[in-house]
Amino acid sequence: MESQFSYRILSTVIFLPVAGAALIFLMGRSKEAMIKWTALVVSLVTFVLSLPLFTCFDKTTANMQFTERLQWVPSWGITYALGVDGISVLFVLLSTLLTILCVTVSWTSVREKTKEFFAALLLIEGSMIGVFCSLDLFLFYIFWEAMLIPMFLLIGVWGGPNRVYAAIKFFLFTLVGSVLMLVGIMVLYLNSGYSFDILNMMSRNYPYPLQVMLFWAFFAAFAVKVPMFPMHTWLPDAHTEAPTAGSVILAGILIKMGAYGFLRFSMPILPEATKAMAPAMMVLSIVGIIYGGVICLGQTDLKRLIAYSSVSHMGFVTLGLFALNTQGLQGGILQMVNHGIITGAMFLCIGMVYERTHTRQIADYGGAATVFPVFAAFFMVFTLASIGLPGTNGFVGEFLIILGGFTASKAMGVFAATGIIIGAAYMLMLYQKVFFMQVNPAIQGHSDLGTRELITLLPLLVLVFWIGFYPNTFLGFMDVSVQNLITRVNSAAQPQIAQQIIEVIR
Amino acid sequence: MSVSVQIPDLIPVMPEIVVTLAAVILLMLELVVKNKNSLGIFAIAVSGLSLYILPQCQGETFGGMFVNDTVSSYFKVIFLINLFLTVLISLRYMQREKAESGEYYGLLVFATAGMMIMASARDFIVLYLGLELMALSTYILAGIKRDDLKSNEAAIKYFLLGGFSSAMLLYGISLLYGLTATTDIFKIGEFLKGTETTPALLFAMALILAAFSFKIAAAPFHMWAPDVYEGAPTSVTAFMSIGPKAAGFAVIANVFFSAFHGLRADWAPLLIIISITTMAVGNILALTQTNIKRMLAYSSIAHAGYMLLGIIAGTEQGLYAMMTYLLIYAFMNMGAFGIIVLMDKGDELKDYEGLAKSRPLVAALMLVFMFSLTGIPPTAGFIGKFNLFLAVVQAGYTWLVVVAVIFSAISAFYYLRVVMNMYMKAMSEEAALSPSPFLSLALGIAVFAVFAIGVLPSLVIG
């Protein structure tokens, strides 16, 4: 479907933030107010401009929509191709929304190098959206890697005490994974008739041994980003040390890119390998769920706890995806959005309270519900959503995933359900230690949330209940695309079987 | 019997003639001209003129000993850009370092002439002449700061080891002559096609390979590079890290694709070993350096390792990808050295601490060059690596590319250390700069090229 709008929506939402970043870079360092307002206005306008993706999206087709296609490097067969389908559209919207909140939450907390901070934030936004919209593998890789630079700076310059270590670890882990994927991309390119076109790759059948090799090459990049169990060690450091906005982006969107990669590339392009490797992926997911949860129980640092909970929650996501059935996939995708909302909100909350108390140690809190009643109410909602209480978005996602998990394998479902219990344990424990019990004198006297902070949290609160009570608004987006994906994964084996039969007959 | 004296066609050698004449004129002018800046500007004009006439001078001459085709022209473009940018970053720097002897620019131009001859040589004798012209000029350039101990040490080291490698080359060439009765590279290739591989032939090839490896600073012939890069004046280091390396690759490509074409099964494994060792040595030893010039020396060793992959691929794509990589490398490396030159005190890594706070623009430029050297999009460095690795995968060496990308990920660590120092460390003292319009122009060109090639790769490929 060609875009019927007067502007190219996807290019606009990618490059408007980049232009905003350039504009901010040109401003004088002393004009802090102007820089902040520019960042806010740019992110707001980007969000508004991305809304047609929500309102005008055709939910009845699995085809790419809002597509754009331009020749870019003809001699390599590279096109500048953008488009969204039901799988990616929600992430674009989530990105544009979360960036606004990142700007508002950093309004007073970032005091040093304000200019570079907001420029980096907008650059990240542009490249994140680019990752979700690319229909050309080369273009995808450019966005995928380009994001590393501003993210590295965001963690390393404005982060906590151990920020340099965390930034380098983040960068190296991600880079090693990415370059292996790059080799995979090259091999794929040479086997696809010199084309980087993702849609073209989705309709081809590659020989099985090649698929398996490519699957692991792509796995290297995506599993680091998700992060899946053995590659997760960068995440606690990066999330803990990053500034609030950085944590929100990391947890909210960046790690979704890994899971999105599985959905967009591994599954439709390498369906046979995906089917063959699904059990291994599910086992890794289960290990991640339980391991991440158990580690959470022992954490003393607020941010670190939420960071490890991400490992556990992303385990649910990958479990759902590799269950390779409708419930699992829909649950997995929805849970990616949910996790972005909930964990994003959690990091925002912690950032707000950190700005007041300057400590992240759980032991330094206690009785916060007395001191910050409004804040406590918000945090309660997000905690319950994270546990997966019915009526919140977390429930819908996790329920679908466990349903999908059971359908795929009973044992997986059982283990995943155990993960939810552990999740409830650490989240409630956290809530109890921070908000109830004796009021800690250290936090006495601080003010409750201000208007700016309320406005920051409110959209996420609304989304928690919206998805919780009426998930169909969002599930409706992905219905057709998920069905299409499942058909592709399941049917891909047949041509080869047919080929084998023909060979036998010969 | 009448002897007809034929005047050879001089058109194909015109760029070399222009450059050589200019070098001679520069040496004379130096005696009368007091303002050394004007000598530099003369050198810039010469590189411009030579670049301008280069496309019109295609052809072969001197009985096929000297050929100016697209491949050698491409290399010459790299040499001339290298000369152009080096002079731009030298103008203010040599004044500041009080090493502004007039022969400096003359020697730069002579060295460039040598490289150009190397790229066009289709005969081992011509090749050797060009190589020695380049090498002798760079030995002196390395030691041009006469009162500086380190500079002297660099020159002596470079000279002794360089002389040794020249001797190996000569020995290899004479053995080859003994076996084939010709020094013509193409005819050697023809001759070797039919013959069996003998130990003497392999020995000759190994000697020639060792000599060329020395020029491109490939392990295990890289030992001189860190000391020489550190000791030589920074502008000379910048010049040496690109020019002689590119010239070395030009002759490797020429000799191994033409003369030793039939022996590919013998030299490919050898080059694979050299390439992997080079990447390993360069990238791993760079990790612990505290002097940025030494670090960039090891980085340049590592990049030679990547570029060798283009030769190993043995295909036309591999060759072109390697040449493109050299061009991109010229821009980004010259940019990085330009920043070092810009800083009054910028040899040590710790001099860069807190630079982002005191000099945000300089830090941002250095950031771009560092990420480009790492190979992160959307910079030219990524396009270079992508292009090169793609050609190598296409030639069937996927595993070699996996090794290369792992090393390239390791390299991120030491390039990031510079970024880390600039952006994430507290400032110890405000960095003093010595800017000049020429240097700004050079940096502007470099950063523009890095981004332009990064976003529009069609500029350099295809």
Assign 3-class secondary structure to A53-91.
Answer: HHHCCCCCCCCCEEEEEEEEEHHHCEEEEEEECCCCHHH
Chain A residues lying within 8 Å of B456, measured CB to CB: 73
Note whether A7 and A49 are within 8 A (CB).
yes
- Above 80 in pLDDT, residue A275? yes
* Distance (Å) from the alpha carbon of B422 to chain A's nearest alpha carbon: 10
- Residue pLDDT, tens place only, B21-64: 999 999 898 888 888 888 889 999 999 999 999 888 888 888 88
Report d(CA A289, CA B250) in Å as an integer: 55
Chain B residues lying within 8 Å of A76, measured CB to CB: 457, 461-462
Angle between helices B292-313 and B316-342 (to 10 degrees): 170
Task: Tell the burial category of A31 from Cβ atoms under 10 Å away from its Cβ (0-12, 13-18, 19+).
Answer: middle
- Above 70 in pLDDT, residue B462? no
**For residue B389, is it within any domain?**
yes
**For residue B78, is it within any domain?**
yes
Q: CB distance from A363 to chain B under 8 Å? A: no
Q: Do B420 and A156 touch (CB under 8 A)?
A: yes
Q: CB distance from A182 to chain B under 8 Å? A: yes
- Above 90 in pLDDT, residue B124? yes
Give the domain range for residue B341: 11-459
**For residue B248, is it within any domain?**
yes
* Distance (Å) from the alpha carbon of A142 to chain B's nearest alpha carbon: 5
- Residue pLDDT, tens place only, A184-212: 999 999 998 888 888 888 888 889 999 99
Output b/e per residue, A274-293; b: 16+ Cβ within 10 A.
bbebbeebbbbbbbbbbbbb
**For residue B252, is it within any domain?**
yes
* Distance (Å) from the alpha carbon of B363 to chain A's nearest alpha carbon: 12
Instruction: Please provide residue B67's backbone torsions phi and psi, each rounded to the nearest 5 degrees.
Output: -125, 130
Chain A residues lying within 8 Å of B409, measured CB to CB: 172, 175-176, 179
Residues whose CB is less than 8 angstroms from the CB of residue B273 and which lie 6 or more positions away in sequence, other chains included: none
- Residue pLDDT, tens place only, A34-82: 889 999 999 999 999 988 888 888 888 888 888 888 888 888 888 999 9
| CA-to-CA dists, residue A165 to A193, B285, B372, angstroms | 42, 20, 22
Q: CA angle at residue B246 from B105 to B384, to 5 degrees? A: 120
Which of the residues A80, A136, A171, A181 would you substitute to probe the B interface, choosing the one with the greatest number of B C-beta atoms within 10 Å? Answer: A171
Q: Report the candidate in A286, A235, A259, A256 with the shortest Cα–Cα distance to residue A419.
A: A286
B-contacting residues in A 3-42 (Cβ below 8 Å): 29
In A, minimum Cα distance to B401 occurs at: A183
Task: Please state whether beta strands B66-68 and A78-84 pair in parallel, antiparallel, or not at all (unpaired).
Answer: unpaired
- Residue pLDDT, tens place only, B174-190: 999 999 889 999 889 88
Q: Do B412 and A183 touch (CB under 8 A)?
A: no
Task: Mean pLDDT check: name the lowest of A164-168, A364-368, B310-314.
Answer: A364-368
pLDDT score of A2: 46
Q: DSSP 3-state helix, strand, coil percentages of chain A (rounded to 5)?
A: 75, 5, 20
For residues B399 and B101, which has the higher predicted lDDT (pLDDT)?
Answer: B399
Average pLDDT, chain B: 90
pLDDT score of A493: 55
Mean pLDDT along residues A153-159 = 90
In B, minimum Cα distance to A146 occurs at: B377
Whether the bond between B12 and the residue before it is cis, its omega within 30 degrees of 0, is: no
- Residue pLDDT, tens place only, B339-374: 999 988 888 888 888 888 888 889 999 999 999 999
- Above 70 in pLDDT, residue A498? no
pLDDT score of A500: 54
Give the domain range for residue A252: 9-505
Chain A residues lying within 8 Å of B388, measured CB to CB: none
Q: Report the number of distinct structural domains present in chain A.
A: 1
Q: Report the candidate in B450, B235, B257 with the shortest Cα–Cα distance to residue B338.
A: B235
pLDDT score of A4: 56
Report d(CA A167, CA A271) in Å as an integer: 35
Of A73, A149, A172, the CB nearest to B458: A73
Question: Which amino acid, residue B138?
Answer: T
pLDDT score of A492: 62
Chain A residues lying within 8 Å of B424, measured CB to CB: 156-157, 163-164, 167
- Above 60 in pLDDT, residue A19? yes
Mean pLDDT along residues A252-262 = 91
Chain B residues lying within 8 Å of A187, measured CB to CB: 393, 398
Question: Which amino acid, residue A344?
Answer: G
Q: CB distance from A157 to chain B under 8 Å? A: yes
Q: Report the number of distinct structural domains present in chain B.
A: 1
- Residue pLDDT, tens place only, B157-172: 999 999 999 999 999 9
Whether the bond between A227 and the residue before it is cis, its omega within 30 degrees of 0, is: yes
**For residue A2, is it within any domain?**
no
Of A163, A171, A182, the CB nearest to B412: A171
pLDDT band at A140 (very low <50, low <70, confident <90, very high): very high
A-contacting residues in B 348-367 (Cβ below 8 Å): 356-357, 360, 367
Report d(CA A306, CA A315) in Å as an integer: 14
Chain A residues lying within 8 Å of B419, measured CB to CB: 152-153
Chain B residues lying within 8 Å of A179, measured CB to CB: 405-406, 408-409
Q: Do A186 and B390 touch (CB under 8 A)?
A: yes
pLDDT band at B261 (very low <50, low <70, confident <90, very high): confident
* Distance (Å) from the alpha carbon of A379 to chain B's nearest alpha carbon: 33
Mean pLDDT along residues B98-115 = 87
Note whether A393 and A386 are within 8 A (CB).
no
Chain A residues lying within 8 Å of B354, measured CB to CB: none
Q: Do B401 and A142 touch (CB under 8 A)?
A: no
Of B401, B408, B423, the CB nearest to A157: B423
**For residue A462, is it within any domain?**
yes
For residues B452 and B219, which has the higher predicted lDDT (pLDDT)?
Answer: B452
Q: CB distance from A210 to chain B under 8 Å? A: no
Q: Report the candidate in B400, B401, B411 with the shortest Cα–Cα distance to residue B374.
A: B411
Q: CB distance from B394 to chain A under 8 Å? A: yes
* DSSP 3-state of A271: helix
Mean pLDDT along residues A23-32 = 84
pTM of the model: 0.91
- Residue pLDDT, tens place only, A79-96: 999 999 888 899 999 999
% of chain B at pLDDT higher than 70: 98
pLDDT score of A6: 67
pLDDT score of A503: 57
Q: DSSP 3-state helix, strand, coil percentages of chain B (rounded to 5)?
A: 80, 5, 20
- Above 90 in pLDDT, residue A502? no
pLDDT score of B431: 80
pLDDT band at A1 (very low <50, low <70, confident <90, very high): very low
Q: Quote the tokens at residue B235.
A: 């502008």
Mean pLDDT along residues A101-115 = 86
Task: Tell the burial category of B62 from Cβ atoms under 10 Å away from its Cβ (0-12, 13-18, 19+).
Answer: middle
Note whether A143 and A99 are within 8 A (CB).
no
Output b/e per residue, B251-289; b: 16+ Cβ within 10 A.
bbbbbbbbbbbbbeeebbebbbebbbbbbbbbbebbeeb
% of chain A at pLDDT higher than 70: 96
Mean pLDDT along residues A327-332 = 91
Q: CB distance from B427 to chain A under 8 Å? A: no
For residues A113 and B387, which has the higher predicted lDDT (pLDDT)?
Answer: B387
**For residue B119, is it within any domain?**
yes
In A, minimum Cα distance to B416 occurs at: A168
Mean pLDDT along residues B383-402 = 93
- Above 50 in pLDDT, residue A3? no
pLDDT score of A201: 86
Instruction: Please provide residue A107's backbone torsions phi and psi, each rounded to the nearest 5 degrees.
Output: -50, -50
Q: CB distance from B451 to chain A under 8 Å? A: no
Which of the residues B359, B368, B403, B405 would you substitute to probe the A interface, choosing the one with the greatest number of A C-beta atoms within 10 Å? Answer: B405
Report d(CA A462, CA A470) in Å as an integer: 12
CB pairs under 8 A between A and B: 88
% of chain B at pLDDT higher than 90: 64
In A, minimum Cα distance to B368 occurs at: A149
Question: Which amino acid, residue A107?
Answer: W
**For residue B83, is it within any domain?**
yes
**For residue B233, is it within any domain?**
yes
Q: Do A171 and B394 touch (CB under 8 A)?
A: no
pLDDT score of B228: 93
Task: Mean pLDDT check: name the lowest of A40-49, A77-86, A270-279, B2-11.
Answer: B2-11
- Above 80 in pLDDT, residue B213? yes
Q: CA angle at residue A15 from A14 to A20, to 5 degrees? A: 120
- Residue pLDDT, tens place only, A382-441: 999 999 889 899 999 999 999 999 888 888 888 888 899 999 999 999 999 888 888 888
- Above 90 in pLDDT, residue B113? yes
A-contacting residues in B 176-195 (Cβ below 8 Å): none
Chain A residues lying within 8 Å of B398, measured CB to CB: 183, 187
Q: Map tokens 């940018």 to a residue.
A: B85
In A, minimum Cα distance to B399 occurs at: A183
Note whether B341 and B93 are within 8 A (CB).
yes
- Above 50 in pLDDT, residue B280? yes
Chain B residues lying within 8 Å of A172, measured CB to CB: 409, 412-413
* Distance (Å) from the alpha carbon of B252 to chain A's nearest alpha carbon: 26
Q: Report the candidate in A336, A76, A48 with the shortest Cα–Cα distance to residue A194.
A: A76
In B, minimum Cα distance to A117 occurs at: B423
Of A72, A74, A149, the CB nearest to B376: A149
pLDDT score of A338: 92
Which of the residues A183, A194, A231 would you substitute to probe the B interface, choosing the one with the greatest number of B C-beta atoms within 10 Å? Answer: A183
